[in-house]
Structure 1
């Protein structure tokens, strides 16, 4: 019993550190958005998005799902094998990421669309990040399942802070030249890579093993293919915008996206505090708790989305600068869209917890198709406003499909589902105290 209580307390402490890291990352991301907007201006912010977009997107495919595979096998095999798992995964990603980085550098003029020499050069420089970040992702993710959660969270926060640290360097240099910023990003990433590997080497010694190459690919490739629709669904609108709209408009759109993502902090809290309560329940009690969870999610998201949408038109220009007044107006659509996105995340987690994996996959495939069609129809005529409308249409479609799968699971999804009960209001009022108590727990 004592050992079980110790494990539970350790798990709660680890979850608390992870939640705190998520919160810190969100704050750093928002601070970067504000600082970058004020430093580069609307056009420069759009150019930053343009040169970072394709390397960041290609990175997801270049890793071949191997970070997930190394984490899985590190958790399910003997600790003595973790070095071979990490070392072999690192070698595999080194090869694939080098090829991907070369392809992005070669195709940069076609990918960025506007032909700006500065943006093309910055894209080519930043393509090296595919290698740096790919190697780091393979090495540090297994720390989470090897019992080194604090180290994992520390490296993760360093990675998320990279754009801000590079921007601080630009401010010290008084430079707004994009290739210089790309070099600053690579420099910081290289330092983080060195720190990350020094942490990994303290806990395991990576080695090469032929026997692990194929298992890692067999697990990793299907995993990345399964998650690709969701990743593309979230990013495909920006792929069109990078090529089709003015950089000032792109900067405003990126700022609206960054501001609206603050809604998702609420869903992180729900995931952290509420979902774990469902695990020990069975039968009708389990579905009843899911019903409470989803109603509470709707209530909290509405309570955040309504005031945030109302203040965005004046708050965004105030924080980010007068050049971003259009971003504030875009938030009238993007903030409610982010609320729907947060709700879909909770719904997908419920389905995954119940091993109903087809629901999230089919919903994201539908979302990808709707996004592509809506963007093609709306962006040429409406620019970034078309992309914003496409986003909310997509998230509505995904929400509806997930709701259908939840109904098949026995959940009372429908118009009455949107109406919170007294229990949800009580739970909402209790969340701050519960969260504060959890964060104070040693």
Structure 2
């Protein structure tokens, strides 16, 4: 009896954290959408494309240069939380030379990829990328530290603060009628630096407490880097998969196409807020659990999220075209069909990443590497076949087909490796009972405190 009572706080904690992170994602999506509306209205499709081209590179390159360290940090902290300061310090120490190398490559590589853009855009992109890559790498480590230690309030607040500050700066420049692409980039950089400073202040104890011990405990970092290199393949392929569409646009299409695509792509991501929250929360929560528990929790999160998001997406897609024209202007209606494809891809792709959490949590990231390799090969092939034929529509279709490949391979892998029948991952009649129970609970956040109190009372008597 005591064991049954003691389990509930952890289960409630996962649900509450997902709810909190989902709310943060919704707020971030709202702020990002407002930002996109302002920049689209001010700059038009071509100017929006130039801005998106500049902002794209730091996110892409930092994703390639992370070497799996954030995910490895979460995984290892769950096994040995006392070593967190060492893990953070060693991650920073490794990322400094990585940032320098990435900066040099970016400086000479960006002009090649942006050959169709103006000289001023190329210059801005070079300086912005070189400056932002180390900042984004450091923030990735601090975000992982917050997730690994269950400080999701810091994690979510920091994610919300950057776009909020960026929006506030853009609004001020817009009202003053001095908003330009160059100044929008400066606002983005200043906002990110401020958030990194806040992150370091919030995590200062973990960052600075190990400086004197770093040399003496260098062996501790072996665990961090060994797992990081194993999971890096997953994250490298994930980054390529999520960003290769932009690379194709930069190489084959026009700045106007990039502007149209950046608007509808960002708008389609609103359907992924819950699944993204689940992915961000479920891995730190289930890492270290037994296989049966991991598969049970990940499977339930996958099934419920797919059902809920499918219910939401159907009416939303019907009115999506209306809102594109209303919010961004008639110029962007040209890409409304692509919005439908990307919305479907968002749901399917989000579900596949929830399933990936099970393999990472059980120490089998290599399975996801194989999945990503095959899905990426299929998607890239379709990019080059369909994009020249159908433009942005071909791009969206290629992404959608690739996301189906990822999900199918994940389900097959669960069945083969963990001996769980595929139909159990797709359907479980207990899910409805679970949802009804949660619906009857008037306040999820108070529920966890009640269960903790019951567990304590039980232990005392």
- Residue 456 of structure 2 corresponds to none
Change (3 A) 1:404 1:89: closer
CA contact (8 A) 1:343 1:399 kept: yes
Give unmatched runs, 5+ long, in structure 2: 450-461
Q: CA deviation at 1:270?
A: 6.5
Gaps of 5+ in 1: none
Q: 1:404 to 1:310 in 2, by over 3 A?
A: same
TM-aligned CA deviation for residue 432 of structure 1: 6.0
Q: Judging changes above 3 Å, is the alpha-carbon distance between structure 1 residues 399 and 148 closer, same or farther for their aligned structure 2 residues?
A: closer
Q: 2:377 maps to what in 1?
A: 369
Which secondary structure state, in structure 1, belongs to the residue aligned with residue 90 of structure 2?
helix
1:257 counterpart residue number:
265
Contact 1:86 1:207 in 2 (8 A): no
2:112 is aligned, of 63, 87, 110, to 110
| 1:40 aligned onto 2:46 | no
1:384 to 392, 401, 410: 392
Structure 1 residues 191, 410: closer, same or farther in 2, change over 3 A? closer
* CA RMSD, Structure 1 to Structure 2 (Å): 3.8
Question: What is the CA–CA distance in structure 1 between the aligned matches of 2:282 and 2:436, rounded to whole Å?
Answer: 14
Q: 2:91 maps to what in 1?
A: 89
Distance (whole Å) between structure 2 residues aligned to residue 280 and residue 223 of structure 1 = 18
CA deviation vs aligned residue, 1:327-363 (integer Å, no higher than 9, x gap):
3221222212222212323333455566664543322
Q: Which moved more, 1:291-300 or 1:378-387?
A: 291-300
Deviations for 1:19-48, whole angstroms, at most 9, x for unmatched residues? 433333233233333333223222222111
Worse overlay, 261-270 or 108-117:
261-270
Equivalent residue in structure 1 for 2:202, among 199, 202, 207: 199
**Secondary structure at the residue paired with 2:218?**
helix
Residue 282 of structure 1: CA displacement? 8.7
SS in 2 for 1:212: coil
Cα distance change, pair 384–437 in 1 and its aligned pair in 2 (3 A): same
CA displacement, residues 287-334 of structure 1 (integer Å, 9 cap, x when unaligned): 888876655444323212222222222222112222210232212222
- Structure 1 counterpart of 2:218: 212
Q: Does the 8 Å contact 1:125/1:183 carry over to 2?
A: no
User: How do 1:298-313 and structure 2 match up within 5 A?
Assistant: 298-313=306-321
- How far apart in 2 are the matches of 1:138 and 1:281? 26
Name the structure, 1 or 2, with higher relative contact order (CA <8 Å, separation 6+): 2
Q: Which deviates the most, 120-129 or 155-164?
A: 155-164
Distance 1:433 1:243 in 2: 53
CA change 1:310–1:430 in 2 (3 A) is: farther
How far did residue 59 of structure 1 move?
Answer: 0.9
| SS of match in other structure, 2:178 | coil
422 and 204 in structure 1: CA distance in 2 versus 1, 3 angstrom threshold: closer
For 1:73 and 1:423, how far apart are their aligned partners in 2? 33
CA contact (8 A) 1:169 1:184 kept: no
CA distance in 2, matches of 1:155, 1:433: 32
From the superposition, tell whether residues 269 and 139 of structure 1 become closer, same or farther in structure 2 (CA, over 3 Å): closer
Summarize the Cα distance change of 1:115–1:253 in structure 2 as closer, same or farther, 3 Å threshold: closer
Instruction: State the alpha-carbon separation in 2 of the partners of residues 353 and 67 from structure 1.
Output: 14
What is the correspondence of 1:266-285 to structure 2 with a 5 Å cutoff?
266-268=274-276
The residue aligned with 2:71 is 68
